[in-house]
Amino acid sequence: MSDITIWHNPRCTKSRQALDFLRDKGHMPDIIAYLADPPSEQALRDAASAMGLSAIQMMRPKEALFAELGLSKTDPEDVLFAAMAANPRLIERPIIFTPKGVRIARPTEAILDIL
């Protein structure tokens, strides 16, 4: 088991780039295919808290599903976290967890300070 975890979508270019970046730096992260194994609402809240982000800052509001669900950037945190837990496609990706912190790897270099 690694001390680094990535919430990964193998179909996403940015997610693949982040995984390659970690491996190029000599890390073999645990990979969570979050679309198949979605994080709980509490796990999402914990990740947001660790990053100092609001729910909307962890989301993909341009994802068609966001509008289809009638969501708004001004919805309460509870609504947005519940939406991400129920619809993991809404979660911004990839998210990297290390002992030094949690980051959304956009750009990939954003994770350098937690490696």
Q: Which of 12, 51, 69, 79 is catalytic?
A: 12
List all residues 6 or more positions away from 115 whose beta carbon is below 8 Å from its beta carbon: 4, 22, 25, 27, 98, 100
109 is catalytic: no
Q: Which residue has the tokens 């962890």?
A: 58
Which positions are catalytic? 12
